[in-house]
């Protein structure tokens, strides 16, 4: 496959089966640099399986994954992170007994090594960008679920990723926090590529440059927000009254 220079992530014929049951099948996917790309679909559509293969948590049954022109299909998850792929999970994965500062510092040290001054700068910047600058000393486990999601995004930012994959980032956020989150994504999209897996359709339609819809483990449609909103097959499978 010829890989275009403006493409940061792509898959070819990607598939995953569990004990003969097909979770993903023949997914061809392209994500362009500095794009906000949303992945949507009904529950059980195969989104989590697909993302788990992208980040190296699951090994594909079929197909290949390319990151910045390099075949990473067999690359372990930690090496994908080192190569510039950052992600947050649908279920928060913060270190509950550590402070917000310590959580983000762990991520920053992986990137900055022993440069303590640089680590402190990165931590302060990341917490500020997600609106947690006043929570730096708070224990992560004491935060609300929504604030834990924001902390996890700060941890992702601290690793300075070229691609940031956010799985249900607005889940548990208040409306005011969602507004701040949308502003953050617009700011980040100028410097990094974002893959957004999100159920909040107003967030998707407002932020995404392009949208891919999965259904029954396959790509149902791909296009701009306007094209997806108007697609009859997508309306029938997923959007329903939200598209009207």
Q: Which domains does the chain have, with CATH numbers?
A: 1-84+193-244 (3.40.50.300), 85-160 (no CATH)
Tell me, what's the pLDDT at 149?
A: 87
**Tokens 């889940």, located at residue:** 171
Tell me, what's the pLDDT at 159?
A: 86
pLDDT tens-digit profile, the chain (244 residues): 445 689 999 999 999 999 888 999 999 999 999 899 999 998 889 999 999 999 999 999 999 999 999 999 999 998 998 899 988 865 567 899 999 999 999 989 988 888 999 999 999 999 999 999 999 999 999 999 889 989 999 998 998 899 999 998 898 888 988 998 999 999 999 889 999 999 899 999 999 999 999 999 999 999 999 999 999 999 888 765 443 3
Is residue 51 within 8 Å of residue 65, measured between CB atoms? no
Report phi then psi at 218, rounded to 5: -130, 160
Tell me, what's the pLDDT at 70?
A: 95
Torsion angle (degrees, nearest 10) of CA 193, 113, 54, 101: -70
| Cross-strand pairs, 11 | 29, 65
Helices and strands in the chain: count of H runs, count of E runs = 9, 10
Q: Is 66 helix (H, G, I), strand (E, B) or coil?
A: strand
Rounded to 5°, the CA angle 215-216-221 comes to: 25
Going by C-alpha positions, the residue among 131, 134, 175, 135 that lies closest to residue 153 is 131
Tell me, what's the pLDDT at 90?
A: 55
User: For residue 57, what are the contacts with CB-CB under 8 A and spacing of at least 6?
Assistant: 77
Is residue 103 within 8 Å of residue 155, measured between CB atoms? yes
Tell me, what's the pLDDT at 237?
A: 81
The number of angstroms, rounded, from the C-alpha of 190 to the middle of its chain's C-alpha atoms is: 16
> CA–CA separation, 103 vs 115, rounded Å?
17
> CA–CA separation, 198 vs 45, rounded Å?
13
């Amino acid at each position: 496959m010829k890989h275009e220079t403006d493409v940061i992530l792509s898959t070819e014929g990607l598939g995953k089966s569990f004990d003969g049951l097909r979770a993903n099948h023949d997914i061809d996917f392209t994500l362009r640099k500095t794009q906000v790309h949303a992945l949507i679909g009904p529950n059980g559509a195969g989104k989590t399986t697909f993302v788990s293969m992208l980040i190296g948590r699951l090994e594909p049954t079929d197909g290949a994954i390319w990151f910045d022109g390099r075949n990473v299909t067999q690359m372990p998850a930690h090496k994908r992170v080192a190569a510039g792929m950052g992600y947050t999970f649908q279920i928060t994965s913060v270190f509950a007994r550590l402070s917000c500062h310590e959580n983000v510092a762990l991520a920053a040290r992986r990137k900055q090594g022993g440069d303590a001054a640089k680590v402190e700068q990165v931590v302060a910047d990341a917490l500020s960008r997600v609106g947690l600058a006043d929570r730096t000393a708070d224990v992560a486990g004491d935060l609300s679920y929504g604030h834990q999601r924001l902390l996890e995004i700060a941890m992702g930012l601290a690793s300075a990723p070229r691609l940031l994959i956010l799985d249900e980032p607005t889940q548990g956020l208040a409306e005011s926090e969602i507004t701040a989150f949308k502003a953050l994504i617009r700011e980040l999209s100028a410097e990094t590529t974002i893959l957004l897996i999100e159920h909040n359709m107003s967030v998707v339609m407002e932020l995404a440059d392009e949208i891919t819809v999965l259904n029954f483990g396959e790509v149902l449609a791909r296009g701009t927000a306007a094209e997806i909103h108007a697609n009859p097959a997508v309306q029938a499978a997923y959007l329903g009254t939200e598209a009207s």
